[in-house]
Amino acid sequence: MKIKTDEVTSVLKQEIKNFNKDLKVDEVGSVLEVGDGIARVYGLSNVMAGELVEFQNGVRGQAFNLEENSVGVVIFGDYTRIEEGFSVKRVGKIFEVPVGPELLGRVVNPLGEPVDGKGPLNAKKMRPVESPAPGIAMRKSVHEPMQTGIKAIDAMIPVGRGQRELIIGDRGTGKSSIAIDTIINQKGKDVICVYVAIGQKESTVASTVEMLREKGALPYTIIVTASASEPAPLLFIAPYSGASMAEYFMYDEGKATLIVYDDLSKQAVAYRQMCLLLRRPPGREAYPGDVFYLHSRLLERAAKLDDKYGGGSMTALPIIETQEGEVSAYIPTNVISITDGQIYLQSNLFASGLRPAVDVGISVSRVGSAAQIKAMKKVAGTLKSDLSQFRDLEAFAQLGSELDAVTQSQLDRGYRILEILKQPNNSPSPVEEQVISIFAVTKGFVDQIPVAQVREFEKFLIQTIREQHPEILEEIRTAKEIKAEAAVQKTVKSIVEHFLSKNR
């Protein structure tokens, strides 16, 4: 058989041409020691800070500490399956998570992997977990309301789109309930919500998901969960993953988004654990020196973008747990100084039956009435000062001294305001109905109603206006103000009289 030399040479030429293309070189290191979600790796001399690495059993990690002779890697997965001597290779890219509309209605872990048993996500886009916050030139002042559906908050501590409002209080005072009510209240408002559960029990997360499904809030919500049983690195990275998922909708689709971090105290503890294991020097309360930067670089990503950048927004509701009401502790003061106000929940108010247990005295919104509709601004203008005065008078009245008629009427009004502000869990109220309730109490119409019947009256008032005067609610909803105030006063007055005659 005769061999054609030109055929042989062409094959050889092709092989030589493809030699570099086919040759894949991985930079591989090996594990020196491993434990508690941290591995020390030797041999990855060109690895980037924050780069993903992969262990030989498929578990992934991130280069966190770049030292002279080794790399400190945090492990995103089961570190018990990694042994000394395992090979580790560079993935060649910074840590990214899948983003996009495919994630809506899903429960994912901080790596963006589904954990709800509904199959793969099929997301078409990825986004880095750490990304810079928008600069001042890209931002616009906060001017649109992000209604929570909770009367006490929308009337006195309003939250605007693009704001960062801290929810702070002891354990078991209803912090998560406020955040979940706010998510439920976004139904039909074209707001994308991301709920990040950090260090919670899996059963708690499951019941939250079920609640959102029941209320019809799941289709516009993404749940990112790093449960208490997960290693510390996953708890640390979860808020950043959630922020990236929300940022896609803010930047790429120009939408309003709401993100809840529940809660950042647990993230700080996870970060402290990682840093101590990586031998980073401890500071106050054994937290590393950059724990402020941990939260500031996360919360600065919340913004209201200027119209020329799409006009999207990201509103952040971080949650911080205090110990025995200690607001001046290290982590609470850090987050208070980063955010644009705080909603402070007090355990003694909670125990006395005031739900939500908002302490109006030290709760504040630095955006203020800029985040309220005109109607709410008008009816709730004096509500906060009235309530603060009531608290002072109440303390004075407990001394048992005789009170004059004016003081007594202020006290009576205060008790009725408290009753109107009470609200059950998972039942946010539309802003137009809130305006009517607060209008009735601040204008003195509720003064004739016995305190024990105030909540029953409020239900009757809203029901009657819904059925017989829907045009009043429609006007507040569309025009965002009460134009014919005299007519509304007349209507409310007749409803009060009807209620009193019915309950005699």
173 assigned binding-site residue:
yes
The backbone torsions φ and ψ at residue 171, rounded to the nearest 5 degrees and listed phi first, read -65, 140
462 in Cβ contact with 433 (< 8 Å): yes
271 in Cβ contact with 330 (< 8 Å): no
> Tokens at residue 488, please?
């509304």
Q: What is the largest CA-CA distance in the chain?
A: 124
370 in Cβ contact with 143 (< 8 Å): yes
376 in Cβ contact with 154 (< 8 Å): yes
Instruction: Please count the CA atoms within 13 angstroms of the CA of 41 that sit on its side-chain side.
Output: 33
- In sequence order, the 6+-apart residues with CB closer than 8 A to the CB of 490 are none
Question: Which class for 471: exposed (0-12), middle (13-18), buried (19 or more C-beta within 10 A)?
Answer: exposed
175 assigned binding-site residue:
yes
114 in Cβ contact with 107 (< 8 Å): yes
- In sequence order, the 6+-apart residues with CB closer than 8 A to the CB of 328 are none
98 in Cβ contact with 112 (< 8 Å): yes
- The backbone region for 199, taken as left when phi is positive above 0, alpha when psi lies in -120 to 50, beta otherwise, is left
Report how far apart the first and last C-alpha atoms of the chain are (Å, whole number).
117
Active site residues: 366
> What is the Cα–Cα distance from 459 to 466, expressed in whole angstroms?
11
> Which helix H or strand E contains 61, and what residues bound it?
strand 60-66
> What is the Cα–Cα distance from 344 to 327, expressed in whole angstroms?
9
Q: How many CB atoms lie within 10 A of CB 183?
A: 27
170 assigned binding-site residue:
yes
Question: Which class for 62: exposed (0-12), middle (13-18), buried (19 or more C-beta within 10 A)?
Answer: buried
149 assigned binding-site residue:
no
> What is the Cα–Cα distance from 287 to 285, expressed in whole angstroms?
5
189 assigned binding-site residue:
no
Name the binding residues for ATP.
Answer: 169-176
Name the binding residues.
Answer: 169-176
